[in-house]
Amino acid sequence: MGRQNRVDAVRAAVRTLLSEEDLPPAARLRAIREAKDLTQDELGDELEVSGPSVNDWELAKKCPAEDNARKLREWSLVALTAMQLPLHLALPMAWPRIQRGVPATPGGA
């Protein structure tokens, strides 16, 4: 499979995964990061946070602070634009709080 075919296949897979309305922000972040072919450390460098912080967000162990959530949203919008994916798939501005390692229900505080 050629490089362009792999890129197209990844975009299609990401589009399918991200289109799931109930996909939690943590899973959405990981899907976008992997589609951009970035490691957690590389994304952390872009956002000026540590790779372990990105790992915690992706595993829904912690929610990003408000300023980091804003950076993540902006990054996701740029990433989706570059991959020619719909912008409504971007990360949310505010992430649901996490209780006992399980993300709150959508819209929960």
Residue-wise pLDDT tens digits, 24-54: 888 889 988 888 889 999 999 999 999 999 9
| pLDDT, tens only, 47-102 | 999 999 999 999 989 989 989 999 999 999 998 888 777 787 788 877 776 544 44
Instruction: Work out the angle between the directed axes of helices 66-82 and 25-35 (0-180°, nearest 10).
Output: 40
> Which one is the CATH code of 3-93: 1.10.260.40, 3.40.50.2300, 3.20.140.10, 2.40.170.20?
1.10.260.40
For residues 14 and 17, what is the distance between their CA atoms, to the nearest angstrom? Answer: 5
Residue 21's pLDDT is 64
